[in-house]
Chains A and B, each alone.
Chain A
């Protein structure tokens, strides 16, 4: 076995004798274009809604819920597809997310959520992952379209204006803090903190450190949550 590898290594480490340097350079260049192009094309194919809903797990659950929401149908006809919200658009982050997605391939092969019941059971965990991701990247995927710089408060409703011009503007809150469940049904929220940057659950000055509202605390200290 080792001899066999050594044989290959010797061939590869020896300078080429029959091919010219120009030929090697050129063919390497061409092969590079082909492979890189192929890789990118494959990546883009896996980044389409059609690809996402080719699995019944996505098609029968989350895709159905998206239908009818504001991100599916609205007055101007602009709509968001799965990767618009769930995959970063920028290359580095996209690759990082794609590598994480290998876990999803694992899940697909072993049927982690291959029935409606299994999906509903796992829904809270999956949702938490997405909330955590969006919280960590300051709702990057939202902001790809909804750019704060170009938000016109004067045409927003009073309620929206109030919160966007204060909490969002000061960076205390990010989109996902308030806008959870805008595109899909929510899991059981019994053990989730309510929305908002000024969440009383996180206000130690009002309730002290033993804040009964802070449900996240249990998660941090590792006490198992009751999840139904």
Chain B
């Protein structure tokens, strides 16, 4: 697969639009279908496509596994962090009203951050799972 020019070039062309579409789904989830789960999967699919075509090592160079693991945990921390911030500000856990100047803007900020946390965790779990399965074989052979 690594030397097929059609796959290589179409991957290079598609990579950025896939991530752009993922970001659109992520941040347009308030207004249309979409949200963190779908967006996370779409963003992950861009990186997995890159790893499939250019090889797992190139994929790991593009997106280092240690960054991947940190971001994997960071998503959940962002989600829980929003809840704790709303608690510190004097409301209940994950009550977003207090985060903004008006209840509505508070809800907007809260939902946006929470969905971002979901997207971060989902995308990084998917990339990590793919990397784990794909590189398992190599170590077994050694």
Q: A and B: real partners?
A: no
